[in-house]
């Protein structure tokens, strides 16, 4: 099956006709359809497909027990109204790259696996990379069992409803010990490749990043009869905090975003009792990130006090800086530049990936495919088909270099 037809087959799954974006959230029907698609692709190619204890899917060519496997893939879930490419491009390209290697008559010296990591975006339960974090031992079973979605459904309940055993989740060192290298291809989530004029680049590092929950608690009251001076309005301190986040991020050369908010009681004619806002902040280095988040929290506490509002700040997740394996990264750059003699761009990114989680345990590298607008986490995310095909050939070259004789 060609890249084009695989892409076309996956395209309608979980797509909202209202927004044109994707709603492929963990353990929902759309997620199940994506998983069925993955199994089907594995079966078509004669690969042995298994789902691990944490819900990640693996399609194996060769004997996993032989060890030192070369693994490639990405994720199929999405953010709310996400684009088509973030995640699926890596999975579809992995199958297409295997097809290309078979066309070339490649002889495999190491086992090869294609992986679909579960719940990468954390759109439903608020924590990103749940599948890879659990497998790598970077998330405890107790913490995973406490994850709850916006409707109060816990992760174990959601897994059980989807037919999976939540009691089985946990670290999987035996599985990781079989992996000799992980290479994830991903659409670029910025315009660096567009600016250099290259279809494909190699990742150098992932910025440290995290998510913080800000709970501003005030007093619910009547919007028409409560004098301004008598209000404890948490929306005011929240709004001022959003502006402070922007200011602090600009000062530190970082980014800070309040992209999700919950308001109680959420009535048009009621002063809120609670405004809960989630901050996502990222920076090129730990010191800058600490400076931004400390500055935002300090400002938020001042605004809250000024409005008679209580504030709790909870760090919900954190991923330290990731430096991808230098030897593997240099090998990728060498393989990709070999025919042209050109230097392949090596880029850092502010986006999180399963590759970043795995890099603590396994030599890991990433390839990026040009995104002409840089837009991502939006239905407008795009990549030209020619660039996607260039990505497939680049991934095939890399896998051939790593796994074939
Ligand atoms: C995942 O795409 C993230 O960077 O939040
Ligand atoms: Mn994403
Ligand atoms: Mn992604």
Structure confidence at residue 342 (pLDDT):
82
Structure confidence at residue 206 (pLDDT):
97
Closest ligand to 351 CA? 1
Q: Helices 3-10 and 88-103 meet at what angle, rounded to 10?
A: 150
pLDDT tens by residue, 308-329: 999 999 999 999 999 999 999 9
Structure confidence at residue 369 (pLDDT):
98
Handedness of CA 258, 262, 268, 273 (dihedral sign): negative
Strands 112-117 and 179-187: unpaired
Q: 236 pLDDT band (50/70/90 cuts)? A: very high
- Please give the number of the atom of ligand 1 that sits closest to the Cα of 352: 4
* Average pLDDT, integer, range 108-122: 98
The CATH code belonging to domain 209-318 is 3.30.70.360
What is the C-alpha end-to-end distance of the chain, expressed in Å? 25
Handedness of CA 317, 73, 24, 163 (dihedral sign): negative
pLDDT tens by residue, 175-216: 999 999 999 999 999 999 999 999 999 999 999 999 999 999
Q: 277 pLDDT band (50/70/90 cuts)? A: very high
Residues with CB under 6 A from ligand 1: 121, 128, 351-352
pLDDT tens by residue, 39-56: 999 999 999 999 999 999
Handedness of CA 19, 130, 217, 248 (dihedral sign): negative
Nearest CA to ligand 1 atom 1: 352
pLDDT tens by residue, 281-309: 999 999 999 999 999 999 999 999 999 99
Q: 151 pLDDT band (50/70/90 cuts)? A: very high
pLDDT above 70 as % of the chain? 100
| H or E element in which residue 95 lies | helix 88-103
CATH of 3-207+321-403 among 3.30.70.270, 3.40.50.2020, 3.40.630.10, 3.20.20.70:
3.40.630.10
With contact defined as beta carbons under 8 Å apart, do 139 and 130 qualify? Answer: yes
Phi, psi for residue 130 in degrees, rounded to 5 = -65, -45
Structure confidence at residue 339 (pLDDT):
79
Entry pTM: 0.95
pLDDT above 90 as % of the chain? 98
Phi, psi for residue 8 in degrees, rounded to 5 = -65, -35
Separation of CA 121 and ligand 1 centre (Å): 6
Q: Is the pLDDT of residue 341 over 90?
A: no
Mean pLDDT, the chain, whole residue set: 97
Q: Where in the chain is the domain with CATH 3.30.70.360?
A: 209-318
Best mutation site among 279, 348, 351 for ligand 1, i.e. most ligand atoms within 8 A of its Cβ?
Answer: 351
Q: Where in the chain is the domain with CATH 3.40.630.10?
A: 3-207+321-403
Closest ligand to 209 CA? 1
Distance CA 256, CA 242 (A): 9
Best mutation site among 121, 125, 350, 381 for ligand 1, i.e. most ligand atoms within 8 A of its Cβ?
Answer: 121
Cα 150 versus chain centre, distance: 19
Greatest C-alpha distance within the chain: 79
Dig out the tokens for 209 from the structure. 């990043």
Separation of CA 202 and ligand 3 centre (Å): 15
With contact defined as beta carbons under 8 Å apart, do 257 and 79 qualify? Answer: no
Closest ligand to 376 CA? 2
Cα–Cα distance list, 355 to 223, 242, 358, 361 (Å): 49, 31, 5, 10
Distance CA 401, CA 405 (A): 8
Best mutation site among 83, 188, 377, 381 for ligand 1, i.e. most ligand atoms within 8 A of its Cβ?
Answer: 377
Q: Is the pLDDT of residue 340 over 90?
A: no
Q: DSSP for 288-335, please give it.
A: HHHHHHHHHHHHHHHHHHHTT-EEEEEEEEEE--EE--HHHHHHHHHH
């Amino acid at each position: 099956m060609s890249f084009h037809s695989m892409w076309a087959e996956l395209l309608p799954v979980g797509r909202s006709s209202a927004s044109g974006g994707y709603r492929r959230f963990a353990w929902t029907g759309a997620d199940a359809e994506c998983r069925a698609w993955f199994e089907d692709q594995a079966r078509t190619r004669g690969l042995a497909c298994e789902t691990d204890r944490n819900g990640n899917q693996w399609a194996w060519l060769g004997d996993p027990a032989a060890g030192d496997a070369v693994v490639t893939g990405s994720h199929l879930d999405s953010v709310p109204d996400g684009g088509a490419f973030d995640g699926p491009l890596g999975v579809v390209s992995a199958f297409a790259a295997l097809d290309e290697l078979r066309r070339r008559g490649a002889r495999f010296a190491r086992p090869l696996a294609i992986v679909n990591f579960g719940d990468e975006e954390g759109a439903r339960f608020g924590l990103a990379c749940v599948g890879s974090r659990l497998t790598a031992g970077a998330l405890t079973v107790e913490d995973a069992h406490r994850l709850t979605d916006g409707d109060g459904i816990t992760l174990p309940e959601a897994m059980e409803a989807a037919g999976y055993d939540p009691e089985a989740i946990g670290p999987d060192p035996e599985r990781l010990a079989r992996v000799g290298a992980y290479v994830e291809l991903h659409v670029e989530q910025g315009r660096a490749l567009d600016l250099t004029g290259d279809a494909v680049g190699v990742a150098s590092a992932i910025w440290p990043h995290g998510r913080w929950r800000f709970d501003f608690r005030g007093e619910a009251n009547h919007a028409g009869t409560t004098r301004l001076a008598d209000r404890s309005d948490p929306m005011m301190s929240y709004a001022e905090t959003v502006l402070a986040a922007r200011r602090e991020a600009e000062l530190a050369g970082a980014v800070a975003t309040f992209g999700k908010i919950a308001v109680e009681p959420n009535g048009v004619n009621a002063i809120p009792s609670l405004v809960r806002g989630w901050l996502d902040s990222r920076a090129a280095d730990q010191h800058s990130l600490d400076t931004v988040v400390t500055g935002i929290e300090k400002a938020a506490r001042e605004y809250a006090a000024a409005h008679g509002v209580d504030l709790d700040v909870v760090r919900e997740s954190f991923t330290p800086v990731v430096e991808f394996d230098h030897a593997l990264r240099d090998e990728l750059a060498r393989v990709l530049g070999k025919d042209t003699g050109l230097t392949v761009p090596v880029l850092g990114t502010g986006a999180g990936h399963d590759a970043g989680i795995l890099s603590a345990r396994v030599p890991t590298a990433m390839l990026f495919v040009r995104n002409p607008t840089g837009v991502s986490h939006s239905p407008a995310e795009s990549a030209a088909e020619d660039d996607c095909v260039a990505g497939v050939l680049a991934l095939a070259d890399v896998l051939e270099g790593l796994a074939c004789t």
